[in-house]
A and B are shown apart, each in its own frame.
Chain A
Amino acid sequence: MTESELAPAEGRAAQKRLVVDARGSWCPGPLMELVRVIQEEPAGTEFELLSSDEGSRKDIPMWLEKAGHQLVEMTPESGFDRYVVRKTHD
């Protein structure tokens, strides 16, 4: 897993966004990496999860709904998908 901190998007007050690059990681690797970083970071943090695992397309939205966090965006890219996720509560 590689994580890097990006500058907060404009208009958002110093919000942290972490990139979790799980491309190449197999099911349920990307979900596990997301669960781990969500456990570690405070509420309000945004994550950008990159996954090339097809199972993630169902697993990630389903987990987010159960855990009560927000799927801000899900964008197919070339060879992987980009999930923008917001941790809404501790």
Chain B
Amino acid sequence: MTTGEAPRAAQMAVVLTESASDKLLPVATLVSGAVAMGMRVDIFASYWGLTAFLRANATAPATVSPGHGPEGLELEERLRAKKAPSWRALLEMARSIGEVHIYACSQSMDLLGLTKEQLDPMVESVSGVATFVDRTRDASVSYFV
């Protein structure tokens, strides 16, 4: 390369604002597919998306998005019966085969009164939104969940 710049790998950006299991599992599945395809993934956990990464919630039972109560719980039951991996386990697997960065939104940290120590070690660092936007400015795919 004449510019001296390293070629950029394809990149996926995910802004996660939800904490229900029926939102997190599809996100973790999507991230898994992306790293399998060699994409780098950057996740910005904001609002309730941040509470999903609380250490204190690591063993909490699955939750369902509002509006999907009974059938949502039935699906969760079915997933358990089929021994499907949790969103957390999927995300860990994705991290083990590819490049996944998870950042905690600094504004949400402040709003929810959280410290970095309260978060799962999967969360790499606390980041401002401008930094996240800058990191993902070349992402070819981006999702807001």
Complex CA gap A28/B31 in Å reads: 10
- Describe B's contact surface by its main secondary structure: helix
A36 x B96 contact (CB < 8 A): yes
B29 x A63 contact (CB < 8 A): no
Q: Name the contact of B37 in the complex, choosing from A24, A27, A39, A63 (C-beta under 8 A).
A: A63
Contact with A along B61-91 (1 / 0, CB 8 A): 0000000000000000000001111000000
Interface residues of A (CB under 8 A from B): 24, 26-29, 31-32, 35-36, 39, 59, 63, 66-67
Which of B29, B82, B83, B97 has the most chain A CB atoms inside 10 A of its CB? B97
Interface residues of B (CB under 8 A from A): 29, 32-33, 35-38, 82-85, 93-94, 96-97
B84 CB contacts on chain A under 8 angstroms:
26
A32 x B37 contact (CB < 8 A): no
B29 x A31 contact (CB < 8 A): no
A29 CB contacts on chain B under 8 angstroms:
85
Q: Name the contact of B97 in the complex, choosing from A26, A36, A59, A66 (C-beta under 8 A).
A: A36
Can you report 6 A-B residue pairs in the complex whose CB atoms are below 8 A from each other? A28-B29, A28-B33, A31-B36, A32-B97, A66-B37, A67-B38
Number of A-B contacts (CB under 8 A): 31
A63 CB contacts on chain B under 8 angstroms:
36-37
Say how far A45's CB is from chain B's closest CB, in angstroms.
17
Say how far B31's CB is from chain A's closest CB, in angstroms.
10
- Which B residue's beta carbon lies closest to that of A29? B85
Say how far B98's CB is from chain A's closest CB, in angstroms.
8
Complex CA gap A15/B96 in Å reads: 26
Q: Name the contact of A32 in the complex, choosing from B32, B82, B83 (C-beta under 8 A).
A: B32
B37 CB contacts on chain A under 8 angstroms:
63, 66
Additional pairs, 18, CB under 8 Å, beyond known A28-B32, A29-B85: A24-B83, A26-B82, A26-B85, A28-B29, A28-B36, A31-B36, A32-B32, A32-B36, A32-B94, A35-B35, A35-B36, A36-B93, A36-B96, A36-B97, A59-B36, A66-B37, A66-B38, A67-B38
